[in-house]
Amino acid sequence: MALTSRYSRYSLLAYLATILFVVPNLCYCFNPKLLNVSRIQTESGWSAARASWYGDPYGAGSNGGACGYENDVSTPPYSSLITAAASSLFNSGAGCGICYQVKCTTHKACSGNPVTVVVTDECPGCDPQSILFDLSGTSFGTMSNSGEAGQLRNVGIQDIQYKRVACNFHGVSVAFRVDGGSNQNYFAVLILFENGYGLSKVELKQAGYGGAWLPMQRSWGSVWRLNVGSGLQPPFSIRLTSGGGSGKTIVATNVIPADYITGKTYRSTVNF
């Protein structure tokens, strides 16, 4: 009995020692803080990302931006609901005018409701920080519960979900602002307010309905140019092809008049 008792006590002590030694090491190896579930579990069609914000808390980030929209970012239809995008989404200007829905659920101030924002600027320093969106103060605050925008902005950087969506500016037609450097041999235009999924192609036709469609190149941001080295004959028609794989085409016929003025914006009657 004594031997059995001593053996039992020894076994019990060995068992307890094993528990005390092994379990802490198991806990050390699995650190739940290293597992950010919010960035793994996303709804169908949504992807995980991180977002910050910049500029005035109730503003449009900054007027201008790498797309060239200038003060238009703070007026309808953009209405300050805009974002700067990391270089991977900005894509050397091809991302200009593309819309995304963003939402947050990981902070108590998050509403979980999607907010549609437009890419109007680039955030080149975002990629190394794994931040895809640098939202305007207005956009960031709009992801919050009513009355809690300030609390959400105080977070600074927030895990979010996002997906690409078609822009819908509710009856606003595409507009064209003639670049200040345009002349008889060179024409450049800023394109604003297009619905759909951004632009994959822009073409120009001279002198009304005649002539061939000439491909324009992206100059920078949302500015497209045509340099033919010979006299261009306005009025100009402009044909736009939507991105996002849709390939949908619209034509703004004679949208740039023969007596166009550089710096002036001309409204079309069409949109995607």
C-alpha distances out from residue 71 to 61, 135, 174, 192, Å = 11, 16, 17, 12
Q: What is the pLDDT of residue 29?
A: 29
Q: What is the pLDDT of residue 24?
A: 37
Average pLDDT of the residues of the chain: 85
Residue 34, pLDDT above cutoff 80: no
Q: What is the pLDDT of residue 38?
A: 41
Q: Which two tokens stand for residue 139?
A: 């956009």
pLDDT-based confidence at 30, cuts 50/70/90? very low
pLDDT-based confidence at 26, cuts 50/70/90? very low
pTM of the model: 0.81
State mean pLDDT over 192-198. 94
Of the listed ranges 34-38, 51-55, 56-60, the one predicted with least confidence: 34-38
Residue 35, pLDDT above cutoff 50: no
Q: What does the pLDDT look like over 114-171, one tens digit per residue?
A: 999 999 999 988 987 789 999 999 999 999 999 999 999 999 999 999 999 999 999 9
Sorted by sequence, the CB contacts under 8 Å of residue 73 that are 6+ apart come out as 60, 61, 63, 64, 65, 80, 82, 120, 136
Q: What is the pLDDT of residue 27?
A: 30
Burial 172-195 (b: 16+ CB within 10 A, else e): bbbbbbbbeebeeeebbbbbbbbb
Q: Which residue has the tokens 């239809």?
A: 77
Residue 60, pLDDT above cutoff 50: yes
pLDDT-based confidence at 31, cuts 50/70/90? very low
Q: What is the pLDDT of residue 173?
A: 98
- Top pLDDT among 231 and 204 is at 204
Distance CA 195, CA 180 (A): 25
Residue 4, pLDDT above cutoff 90: no
Residue 186, pLDDT above cutoff 50: yes
Q: What is the pLDDT of residue 231?
A: 87
Terminal C-alpha separation, the chain: 91
Residue 6, pLDDT above cutoff 90: no
